[in-house]
Amino acid sequence: MPLLPKPYDDEVIGSVFARAAIQAGLPLKTLFGSIFSGRGSHSFLMTSELHRVAYFAGVDADELLSQHTMFPYAVAYMTRDVKAAFRTKALSLQPGQECLGSLTKSVSHGVPYRRFCPDCVRQDLRMYGESYWRRAHLLPGALVCLRHHKPLKIANLPLRGRTSMKDITLPHQAELLPTRLPASAALRMKLTERSVQALVGQVQVGNDWRESYRTRVLALDYQLSPGAVAGAALAGELRSYFGQPLLESMGCPLPRTCSDTWPALMTRPGIDTPFATPKHVVLDVFLDEGIQAPDDVTSLYQPPGKKTRDYARLDKATVTRIEKRIQQVVEAGGRTSIKALLTDAGVWSAFRHDRENFPATRATLDDFRTSNQAERQVGGRSYWRQRHPSRYSPTQGIDEATDEVSAAR
């Protein structure tokens, strides 16, 4: 009968499997084959068949789920009923219902490599003769060891993907990657504390957290005149406070050009889409800081109504696209048409209706019509010019050529 070592305090389930394989001298694949009744599904952060794993480890299944997987962190900001439903499913013995690995994807997405605290490793080696991977060090936004108040180190070991369950290396055996410390020490500590609170179930979540966020956001004056949340201003201030590198490292980046960003959606009533725990942590910490909205939040929004097109800019961009496409045709040794060039540039309709606003484009196309790359080359090829000279009139302008294409349609 296979036996798993009893998990240490806050040890993640993947670390338990790694220690078991080392102690038994078995490959992980062989170890899993003797533990799971079928083709079990498991990751470094979560496992299926919790009752079997708990039995072999000598602990209760509920204890294993709550204290040795990332399940509590993944469901931290869900409502009580949803948490209960997921817990029941995770502990179910029915085939096909044990694995909730998709819940932990939001955790590993922001943590590509495993982290550890060198001071904790030294203590583990002194106390147990071996080290292990802690859940609190593997959370998105957990950048500091709360026990020793020192930055965590990054190991050259992936946390996600298939390879994460093939490597049985423990922290004291791991090679280090260069560590960059985003944000200030105070902010790193706040994010770590809130992330660990989510892991151990110390965050207070009501049944309508959207309304709670909305109330807190409006209290900081992120508000438009009709009473709507100024989502663009909220996203901009949040990005400035945390920095894009830190947000990306947590798996929740903020684009600069989109007003419907995830902070705005998290405050919008009627949106039932669940959001990953790292986004809750980031927004929660930001609102706790009480950062006020900029003086004029409306300046970030364009007035309603039809937008005026910048033809000068569009004309310049169109010429660049057309020249690039012509160069590709030259390299391929082929031919193309004016309509194809304008369509590829995305301005066929605009050019047809407002060609006077495209002077540079018209000049470029006039030159193109006389080139060997034009399907309807002005003057034709030399053979046909000699055989049927009456068919070829003097060079037409680009306006006439475009009119001919439109009439043909």
What is the per-residue pLDDT across 323-368, written as a single tens digit (0 to 9) for each? Answer: 999 999 898 888 888 999 999 999 999 999 888 999 999 999 999 9
pLDDT value at residue 334:
84
CA distance 18 to 21: 5
In this structure, what token pair is assigned to residue 41? 């599904």
Q: Which of 316, 318, 317, 332 is nearest to 373 (CA)?
A: 332
Q: Which of 137, 170, 171, 169 is nearest to 151 (CA)?
A: 137
Q: Are 91 and 50 in contact (CB under 8 A)?
A: yes
Cα distances (Å, whole numbers) of residue 88 to 81, 277, 356: 11, 20, 68
Q: Are 249 and 108 in contact (CB under 8 A)?
A: no
User: Is residue 270's pLDDT more than 90?
Assistant: no
Number of H helices, E strands in the chain: 20, 5
Q: Which of 252, 262, 241, 12 is nearest to 110 (CA)?
A: 252
Residue 41: burial class (beta carbons within 10 Å; 0-12, 13-18, 19+): middle
Q: Are 402 and 355 in contact (CB under 8 A)?
A: yes
**Rounded percentage of the chain residues whose pLDDT exceeds 90:** 39
pLDDT value at residue 382:
52
Q: Pick 187 or 333 by higher pLDDT.
A: 187
Output DSSP code: residue 4: P
Q: Pick 85 or 385 by higher pLDDT.
A: 85
User: Is residue 98's pLDDT more than 50?
Assistant: no
Residue linked to tokens 């496992």 = 47
**Rounded percentage of the chain residues whose pLDDT exceeds 70:** 82
38-75: pLDDT as tens digits = 665 677 888 878 888 898 999 999 999 999 999 999 98
DSSP 142-183: --EETTTTEEPEEEEEESSSGGGGT----GGGPPEE-----S
Please, which pLDDT band fits residue 171 given cuts at 50, 70 and 90? very high
Cα–chain center distance at 211: 25
Among 21-25, 104-108, 260-264, 388-392, the range with the most confident prediction by mean pLDDT is: 21-25
Q: Please state the rounded mean pLDDT for residues 26-37.
A: 81
pLDDT value at residue 285:
93
pTM: 0.71
Q: What end-to-end distance do the CA atoms of the chain give, in Å? A: 78
Please, which pLDDT band fits residue 109 given cuts at 50, 70 and 90? confident
SS3 label, residue 144:
strand
SS3 label, residue 98:
coil
Q: Please state the rounded mean pLDDT for residues 92-119.
A: 72
pLDDT value at residue 303:
64
Q: Pick 153 or 394 by higher pLDDT.
A: 153
pLDDT value at residue 378:
67
Residue linked to tokens 């936004």 = 141
User: Is residue 1's pLDDT more than 60?
Assistant: no
Q: Please state the rounded mean pLDDT for residues 205-229.
A: 83
Q: Are 155 and 18 in contact (CB under 8 A)?
A: no
Q: Are 192 and 249 in contact (CB under 8 A)?
A: no
279-331: pLDDT as tens digits = 999 999 999 999 998 887 776 666 666 677 888 999 999 999 999 999 998 98
